[in-house]
Amino acid sequence: MTARILLPADLFGRPFRISAGVSAGAGRSRLNGGDLARPLWGIRSGEPFGHTTAEFCRALGPRLSPDSFFSHQTAAQLLGVPLPARHERARPLHVSVAVPGRPMDARDVIGHLLSITADEIVLWRDLPITGPARTWLDLAAVLNLADLVAAGDYLLYWRHPLTTIAALTDALARYPSRRGLVMARRALPLLRDRAESRRESKLRVFIVEA
């Protein structure tokens, strides 16, 4: 049995682009070996791959431009926000750049061009993402009222608050004209910091709106 050729040392322990593997001295046949994970198009990894949103984001790292950050549903998933099933899929990844940048165009990625300020972007476990308040505001464009309230309740939850009502209010005030603003304004006064589950949050909305 022929021994498998080892990867170059500088490729260990991290995802890498195929082109980087070739530059490091790995042959094409080695890079197509069955022992290498293929988390995303053009990316290989010699480490076990768990298919979580965070791991997909880290796998995309070698292809991210310095001004890119994760946003929308992807940022929400990284923050642990409870979402409807259709928005919980790890892919496609939502990747944004600030105006006037150029949105990422790649397989398994939805690129966005955002009006955003630097203080709305944070590092979350070494991944650049929109902060909790901005993430909630972006979700207002894709979630219904009950789901948006559930997301906001999670971010405000008193045992581990990730944002505040003041920060959410400020996020709305920064962008007086944007998609989802009407929904966000409806949801904001319904938010509470003591909801113990997404189901509880949604039930409260249904009762209030009945």
Question: What are the pLDDT digits (tens) for 131-163?
Answer: 999 999 999 999 999 999 999 999 999 999 999
Largest CA distance in the chain: 70
Beta bridge partners, 112, equal: 96
pTM listed for this prediction: 0.88
Statement: residue 51 has pLDDT above 90: no
What confidence score (pLDDT) does residue 1 get? 40
Q: Which of 5-9, 64-68, 206-210 has the highest mean pLDDT?
A: 64-68
C-beta separation of 191 from 200 below 8 A: no
By C-alpha distance, which of 10, 27, 111 is closest to 69?
111
The CA distances from residue 161 to 43, 139, 204, in Å, are 35, 18, 20
The answer to whether the CB of 67 falls within 8 A of the CB of 183 is no
Contact partners, residue 78, CB within 8 Å, separation at least 6: 53, 54, 57, 70, 124, 125, 127, 129
